[in-house]
Amino acid sequence: VRAEIVAVGTELLLGQIVNTNERWLGERLAAIGVDVLHAQVVGDNLDRIVQALRLAASRADAVLVTGGLGPTQDDLTRDALAALLGVGMQRDPAIERFLRERFRAFGYDEMPANNLRQADVPRGVRTILPTRGTAPGLIARVGDGATIYVVPGVPSEMVEMMEGTILPELAAQAEGAIVSRVLRSASIGESRVAELLADLYEGSTNPTVAFLASAGEVKIRLTAKAGTAADAGRMLAPLVDEVRARLGDVVFTTEDESLEEVVLRLLRASERTIACAESLTGGGVGARLSGPPGASASFRGSAVVYTPEVKRDVLGVSQATLDGPGVVSEACAREMAAGARRVYGADLGLAFTGAAGPEPHDGAPPGTVWIALEADDTAHARGLHVPGERDRVVRWSQQAGLDLARRYLEGLPLPASEP
Amino acid sequence: VRAEIVAVGTELLLGQIVNTNERWLGERLAAIGVDVLHAQVVGDNLDRIVQALRLAASRADAVLVTGGLGPTQDDLTRDALAALLGVGMQRDPAIERFLRERFRAFGYDEMPANNLRQADVPRGVRTILPTRGTAPGLIARVGDGATIYVVPGVPSEMVEMMEGTILPELAAQAEGAIVSRVLRSASIGESRVAELLADLYEGSTNPTVAFLASAGEVKIRLTAKAGTAADAGRMLAPLVDEVRARLGDVVFTTEDESLEEVVLRLLRASERTIACAESLTGGGVGARLSGPPGASASFRGSAVVYTPEVKRDVLGVSQATLDGPGVVSEACAREMAAGARRVYGADLGLAFTGAAGPEPHDGAPPGTVWIALEADDTAHARGLHVPGERDRVVRWSQQAGLDLARRYLEGLPLPASEP
C-alpha cells in the first residue's frame, strides 16, 4: 500500500504552525508497513486543493488529508472532495442530529448556523462521527483507484479517527509490518551516542538505527521491516540489547516512556512518593509528574517558590543561606529539597534553582543551575552550566533533575557537579 | 513572487523528524512578501525528487529545496537538479579546496572520500559555500523560468544560507510586504467568532481574516499586503479596531501576547503580585506564569497540592471541606485561593481543582473543574464542565483561570459558573 499525506491550511504555508500531523502520520503508517512516498501542503484555496488531491490520487493507493473540515468559509476540503469526485453536496441527517446533540451537551441552547456546514458532505461518501470536536471525517473511493481519507487538522481529532478507523483499515491491506523500538537516554550528547553506535548505524538498512536529540535527551530509534510484527520484533530484540549494553545506564527506557513516566513507575513499584521544590522550573516539573493518569499515587505536590521570601516562609530555607550564597546555590537547593520533603511528607524531595536568563539572577550568570535530591539515606546536590535560551535552560534542568531521581530509584551512582 | 518549498528526506516521510524548516521558511517568506502556495516532501529517490522539482518549477517563481546535500549515497538532490537541468556533473575546484581546508580545521588528517561528493555539482550552477557544516548550497535557473535554491536540511545550515544569500535576493524581487496582526480571545468558541466576523471574513482578500482555535483560545489573524510594511500596517489598524469592537472583552490582546504575558503585564502595571494553588493543573499554571523573562516581579509562586492532606497542611483547606464537599468543590477552590494568597503573601490568589480524568476524582466525574480567585475586594469561584481528554481538561482550565485573573485586573465582570 502506497500512501500520500495532504495537509490543507494556509496557516501551515505561512509558518504559523508546524505540521506535526505529518510526522505523526508518517510514523504510524510506517509502523503498519504502509509506504509514504510523498507529502503535500496546500493552502485554503479550492482549485489548489482539488489539484493536490488529484495528483495524490494518481500516484497513491491511500490519500490521507488533514484539515479544512471546520465550520468556517475557509474550510474547503469537503467541497474540494466533491469537485474531485464530480458529485454534489448533500446534508447528512445523521451528522446534523449528532451536531445538534453535541451542542446541547456542551450547554448551548442553539447551535451556531455555521456549524451546519459540517453536516454537508459530498454525495455517496462514508463518514466518521467524532468523539472529540464537531468535524466528521470522510472516506471516498476515486473511481476504482485511490481511497481518500479526510480527517480534521486538530491533532487530537485527527489521532482519534486514524486510530479508531483508518489505520486499522490500512493495516488490513498492507503487507508486512514495520516495527520500531525507541530507547531514550539522558545526560549524554548526540555525538557521543553516534560515536558509540557508529558501526550499527552506518549503512544500516533493516533494521535501521536513527538518532533524535532534544534538550537533555537523545532518542535512539530502531526500525525493522518483516512479514509480521512478531518477526520484526524478533529482529529488533538483539539490537535493543546491544544498544543498551553499549550506552549503559544513561538509557532510561527501552519502551519509549517519558522520563516522568519512568520516575512514576519506579516510585509506584517501591511504594514511595515524591514532592518537588521549584524556583527555576516554575512548576514545569510538577506539571510533568502530574501529567500521566494515576500520578496521584506517587506525586504529592510541588512548592513553586519564585521569590527569596517564599523560599524561606514556605520551605524553610534559612535567612543565612539567602543572605550568604544566595538563591542560586548548592545550599539553597539542598534546603529546598529538604523543605519539600518535610512540608509534603514525601519520601523523596527534588529541588530546582538557577538563573534561566536572560539576566543574571541573584549574582549568578544565566545558565547556572543547582538541583538537589533528598531521600531516606541520601542527600545529593549537583551543579550544572546550561548554555542557551531561557526555555532550553529550564527544560535541560527538568531532565537533569528527573534523571537524578530516576538514578536514585534504580540504585545507580548519582552524577557529580559539572566542573 | 510565488514560492514553493520542497523538502527532501525519507526520514521526514517516516515521521522520524518534524519538518520545522517548512515552518521557518513559510514565516520568513511571508515577512518579505513572498507567497508560498505549495509545499512538498519527497523521499531519497532520484526519480521522485526530479518529478517534485519539475512540478514545483512549473508553478512557482522560486523553488526552495532543503536536504539531500550530504556526503552519503542517499543524498541525491545534486543529481536530481542536474537531471532536471539536463546537464552533467562536474567537480568544483573551489568547493574541493574548501572541503579539504574544513576537514583540516576539524583536526582530520585526511578527508573521508565520501565527502568529495559534495564538491560535485551540476554544470553551470551558482554555489554558496557554508560557514557551518560542509554542504554547499546551489542556485540554478530552469530555462528562463523558475529559480531553484537548494540548501542543506540541517536547520542551522539552512538558516545561514537563507539569511545570508537567498532571502535578501528574494526580498529584492518581491514587491511589497506582508504584515500580520494577531488578536487572541478566550472563553469564546471558534464558530461564535466566525459568526460575529462573517462579513469581514467572507471573500476577504487584502486584508485577509483567518481563525485558529486551540483549547480555550481562538486566534484571529489579520494579514495585509502593501507596498511597504508601514502601508500594510495602516490597512490593518481599522480592521483590528472593528474586530475588537465586535468580539468585545473576550479579546485579551491585539499584539499576539500569550494569556500569561497579558496577566503579567497587567500585574506589573498595577504593582500587584499573584500566587497560585494548583491541584488539577499540577504546576502548569506556575510554569506558564514563570515563563516570560521578568516574571519574578509579579509571580510569587504556586502551591502544587496533589493530595487532600497537603491541601490541608500547606494551604489550610479545612478538614470539614475535605470530608464534606471534597477536593473537587467550590469550597475547596475558594479555600485554596485564600491559602495561596496568604502563604505566599500575594495580592491575588488563583486556585485550580478538578477531575482531569480518565477516572472520577473524589466522587466528581472527569471534566468537573472549579477555579477561584481571591483578591482585595473580591472572592470569586467558577465551576466548569470541560469535555475531553486529560490534557484538554487541564489546558482549558488553565485558560479559564488565567482569563479570570485577566478580567479581574482589567476591571471587567467576572463570568459565572456554567449551568
Q: Strand locations in B156-200, DSSP E?
A: 177-185
Q: Which region among A235-249, B24-38, B294-308 has the lowest average model confidence (pLDDT)?
A: B24-38
Nearest residue of B to residue A40, measured between CA atoms: B40
Task: Give the pLDDT confidence of B69-91 residue by residue, as tens digits.
Answer: 988 777 899 999 999 999 999 99
The model carries a pTM of 0.79
Q: What mean pLDDT is predicted for residues A365-376?
A: 96
> How close B108 comes to chain A (CA, Å)?
16
- Asked if A42's CB is within 8 angstroms of B38's CB, the reply is yes
Task: Give the pLDDT confidence of A104-129 residue by residue, as tens digits.
Answer: 877 777 888 888 999 999 999 999 99
On average, the pLDDT of chain A sits at 93
Angstrom distance (rounded) from CA A185 to CA B343: 39
Q: Tell me if A89 sits within 8 A of A171, measured CB to CB.
A: no
Show Cβ contacts of residue A168 under 8 Å, excluding neighbours closer than 6 positions. none
User: How crowded is the C-beta side of B209, counted as CA atoms within 13 Å?
Assistant: 24
Residue A395 has pLDDT above 90, yes or no: yes
Nearest residue of B to residue A355, measured between CA atoms: B293
Residue with the larger pLDDT of the pair B150 and B103: B150
Length of chain A: 419
> How close A245 comes to chain B (CA, Å)?
23
- Asked if A39's CB is within 8 angstroms of B22's CB, the reply is no
Nearest residue of B to residue A29, measured between CA atoms: B14
Looking at beta carbons, which residues of chain B come within 8 Å of A364? none
Task: Give the pLDDT confidence of B213-242 residue by residue, as tens digits.
Answer: 777 899 898 988 888 889 999 999 999 999
Task: Give the pLDDT confidence of A62-75 residue by residue, as tens digits.
Answer: 999 999 999 888 89
Task: Give the pLDDT confidence of A49-58 residue by residue, as tens digits.
Answer: 999 999 999 9
- Asked if B201's CB is within 8 angstroms of A344's CB, the reply is no
On average, the pLDDT of chain B sits at 92
Angstrom distance (rounded) from CA A409 to CA A196: 26
Top residue of B10, B12, B41 to mutate, by most chain A CBs within 10 Å, is: B41
Task: Give the pLDDT confidence of B108-125 residue by residue, as tens digits.
Answer: 777 877 788 899 999 999
- Asked if A19's CB is within 8 angstroms of B18's CB, the reply is yes
Q: In what order do the strands lie in the sheet with A35-42?
A: A126-128, A137-141, A147-151, A62-66, A2-8, A35-42, B35-42, B2-8, B62-66, B147-151, B137-141, B126-128
Q: What is the pLDDT of residue A399?
A: 97
Q: Is the peptide bond before B207 cis (omega within 30 degrees of 0)?
A: yes
Q: How confident is residue A167, by pLDDT bands cut at 50, 70 and 90?
A: very high
Task: Give the pLDDT confidence of A31-48 residue by residue, as tens digits.
Answer: 787 889 999 999 999 999
Q: Which region among A108-122, A144-158, B159-173, B297-311 has the lowest average model confidence (pLDDT)?
A: A108-122
Residue B204 has pLDDT above 80, yes or no: no
Q: How confident is residue B163, by pLDDT bands cut at 50, 70 and 90?
A: very high
> How close B144 comes to chain A (CA, Å)?
24
Question: How many CB pairs lie under 8 A apart between chains A and B?
Answer: 284
Residue A214 has pLDDT above 80, yes or no: no
Percent of chain A with pLDDT over 90: 74
The secondary structure of B303-348 as a DSSP string is: EEE-SHHHHHHHH---HHHHHTT-SSSHHHHHHHHHHHHHHHT-SE
Question: What is the DSSP pairing of strand A2-8 with strand A35-42?
Answer: parallel
- Asked if A156's CB is within 8 angstroms of B392's CB, the reply is yes
Residue B24 has pLDDT above 80, yes or no: yes
Q: Tell me if A390 sits within 8 A of A357, measured CB to CB.
A: yes
Percent of chain B with pLDDT over 90: 72
Q: How confident is residue A391, by pLDDT bands cut at 50, 70 and 90?
A: confident
Q: Tell me if B120 sits within 8 A of B90, measured CB to CB.
A: yes
Hunting for cell 529517490 — which residue is that? B45
Nearest residue of B to residue A394, measured between CA atoms: B291
- Asked if B282's CB is within 8 angstroms of A295's CB, the reply is yes
Tell me the ipTM for this assembly.
0.79
Residue B290 has pLDDT above 90, yes or no: yes
> How close A17 comes to chain B (CA, Å)?
7
Instruction: Give buried/exposed letters for B209-242 (b at 16+ CB in 10 A, else e).
Output: bbbbbbbbbbbbbbbbbbeebeebeebbeebbee
Looking at beta carbons, which residues of chain A come within 8 Å of B389? 132, 156
Length of chain B: 419
Nearest residue of B to residue A211, measured between CA atoms: B16
Q: What is the pLDDT of residue A389?
A: 81
* Cell numbers found for residue A95: 451528522
Residue with the larger pLDDT of the pair B260 and A212: B260
Q: What is the pLDDT of residue B73?
A: 77
- Asked if A23's CB is within 8 angstroms of B22's CB, the reply is no
Long-range contacts of A86-91 (CB under 8 A, 24+ apart): A87/A122, A87/A123, A87/A124, A88/A122, A88/A123, A89/A120, A89/A121, A89/A122, A89/A123, A90/A120, A90/A121, A90/A122, A90/A123, A91/A116, A91/A119, A91/A120
3-class DSSP assignment, residue B139: strand
Q: What is the pLDDT of residue B15?
A: 87
